[in-house]
Amino acid sequence: MQENGPSIPRLPGFDSTAAFLREGYDFVGARCRKLGTDAFRTRMMLRPVTCATGPEAARMFYAPGRMTRRGAMPGSVVALLQDRGSVQMLDGAAHRARRGLFLDLMAPERLELARRVLAEEWQAAAAGWQGRTVTLRDAVPEVMTRTALRWCEVPVGEAEVAARTAELSAMIGAAGSIGPSYLRGSFLRARSERWARSVLRRAREEGGETGALARILAHRDADGSGLDEAEAAVELLNLLRPIVAVGRFIVFAAHALHVHRDAIVRSLAEAPGDPARILAIAQEVRRLYPFFPVIGGRVLTPFTWRGRDFAAGEWILLDLFGTGRDGGAWFLPEAFDPGRHLAGGPAAGALIPQGGGDMAGGHRCPGEWLTVALLCEGIRALLALDYRVPPQNLDIPHDHFPPWPHDGMRIDVAPGTGTAGR
């Protein structure tokens, strides 16, 4: 299909890696605004690349069967997040079959279970927060780790929780780093894989598993074979690690509840606790707060876009963060306005913090509904917690992937019930 539009300019300068690392989340969007385009050509890590932003670019990128994720992200990022042999590195029928493992776990009753488990774990943790200053950056990952382990029905002793929390958090925190932080992330990832293998080995021997663990053990790939121990461990971590990652969105929600308090109070005033309004706040957090800046793809099936022929193997980076702030797709895009989500869902390709396109067949994050369910529960729990926000640096840096609020989002939790209305 020929997809026309303005042509794709080339950036001056030989390579943009340094500028991307310096400007981070804003790199693609700022360049596009300056050039009056939604795509440009440059080099990253000395490789030619097309960077593209906005809903039309997302629709180009997510056309079925067009892109592979193989060779499309730095090896260091792949190794810490998805890892080799995981669903994201597969294409075609093999990908579809493996993806079924994740989608099967996202049935409404499983989302409801996740929500309930998070509510219980939050309640238990919040009981210990009363009368204290709590840094959410430090406290929320353990709540999420406990939630992830229970939701996947992975048995762990109390003594293990701290190790699992450190491992699952480090994989996310170090994915955009180089140097000591990356080495620590790799060490903890390797330790976590060894632990996941032992969990699966024990479950296979003892039998009687239910939930996610049972689904992994029963899984059959497109060729009819089951997952070997290494593949099963990688996919178990592909469930546990991102559930812990949702904790970052919950910390961002705490940031939004403070910084954008007026907009949120206005939105909730008419119908406090209304699930649609909580969901609208969650969507606004996912739209505006930084998580993954871009997703990389390499062309599998040649196509033409903006008058340019894209050959097999070409590299494209789609701007996930900037698309949420696209001036054509969103009215006053910088404003935190939950109301914009109450009139209906976003236009196709406009809200893509977790990727876009088809949920059944493409690479769009299969955990998106789970993320939204957990984030909504996190927002409800924050609204029910009696706390105030002491003075602190609330800046969120844009040159670290992904960032925390500068001071970790500290809150002074009131003594007493700890979970009373605000």
Residues touching ligand HEM, count (CB under 6 A): 26
Q: How far is the CB of 262 from ligand HEM (least distance, A)?
A: 26
Q: How far is the CB of 29 from ligand HEM (least distance, A)?
A: 16
| Contact by Cβ (8 Å): 59, 188 | no
Among 287, 363, 380, 410, binds ligand HEM (CB under 6 A): 363
Name the DSSP class of 128. T
Q: How far is the CB of 292 from ligand HEM (least distance, A)?
A: 5
Stretch that binds ligand HEM, among 11-19, 50-58, 237-245, 276-284 (CB under 6 A): 237-245
Name the DSSP class of 10. B
SS3 353: strand
Q: Which residues pair with 315 in a beta bridge?
A: 298
Q: How far is the CB of 238 from ligand HEM (least distance, A)?
A: 4
Which of 189, 418 has the CB closer to ligand HEM?
A: 189
Which of 182, 292 has the CB closer to ligand HEM?
A: 292
Among 52, 196, 199, 239, binds ligand HEM (CB under 6 A): 239
Tell me the C-alpha distance between 42 and 51, whole Å: 8
CB count within 10 Å of CB 412 equals: 14
The yes or no reply on residue 99 touching ligand HEM (CB under 6 A) is yes
Q: How far is the CB of 13 from ligand HEM (least distance, A)?
A: 27
**Residue matched to tokens 């979970």:** 419
Tell me the C-alpha distance between 167 and 165, whole Å: 6
Q: Which two tokens stand for residue 184?
A: 């620590």
Which amino acid is present at 239?
Answer: L
Among 366, 403, 405, 418, binds ligand HEM (CB under 6 A): 366
Checking DSSP bridges between strand 410-413 and strand 133-135, what pairing results, if any?
Answer: antiparallel
Which of 365, 396 has the CB closer to ligand HEM?
A: 365
Q: How far is the CB of 214 from ligand HEM (least distance, A)?
A: 16
Among 111, 365, 376, 384, binds ligand HEM (CB under 6 A): 365
Q: How far is the CB of 173 from ligand HEM (least distance, A)?
A: 13
What is the enclosing helix (H) or strand (E) of 90?
none
The yes or no reply on residue 245 touching ligand HEM (CB under 6 A) is yes
Q: How far is the CB of 324 from ligand HEM (least distance, A)?
A: 11
Tell me the C-alpha distance between 366 and 287, whole Å: 18
Kindly write out the interface string for residues 313-342 of this chain, putting x where it contacts ligand HEM by CB under 6 A and - elsewhere.
Answer: -------x----------------------
Task: Specify burial of residue 242 (Cβ count, 10 A radius: 0-12, 13-18, 19+).
Answer: buried
Tell me the C-alpha distance between 16 and 3, whole Å: 27
Which of 99, 341 has the CB closer to ligand HEM?
A: 99
The yes or no reply on residue 215 touching ligand HEM (CB under 6 A) is no
Query: Which residue number has the CB closest to ligand HEM?
Result: 367
Kindly write out the interface string for residues 166-195 of this chain, putting x where it contacts ligand HEM by CB under 6 A and - elsewhere.
Answer: ------------------------------
**Residue matched to tokens 């008419």:** 270
SS3 134: strand
The yes or no reply on residue 55 touching ligand HEM (CB under 6 A) is no
Would you say the C-alpha torsion 210, 211, 213, 214 has a positive or negative sign?
A: positive
Among 243, 256, 281, 373, binds ligand HEM (CB under 6 A): 243
Checking DSSP bridges between strand 303-305 and strand 308-310, what pairing results, if any?
Answer: antiparallel
| Contact by Cβ (8 Å): 140, 374 | no
Size (the chain), residues: 422
Among 122, 289, 292, 303, binds ligand HEM (CB under 6 A): 292
The contacts of residue 212 (CB under 8 Å, 6+ apart) are: 105, 151, 152, 153, 154, 236, 239
Helices (H), 219-324: 229-259, 261-269, 275-288, 320-323
Enumerate residues 69-98 that contact ligand HEM by CB under 6 A.
69, 87-88
Which of 175, 295 has the CB closer to ligand HEM?
A: 295
The yes or no reply on residue 53 touching ligand HEM (CB under 6 A) is no
Binding stretches for ligand HEM (CB under 6 A): 69, 87-88, 99, 102, 238-239, 242-243, 245-246, 249, 291-292, 295, 320, 353-355, 363-367, 370-371
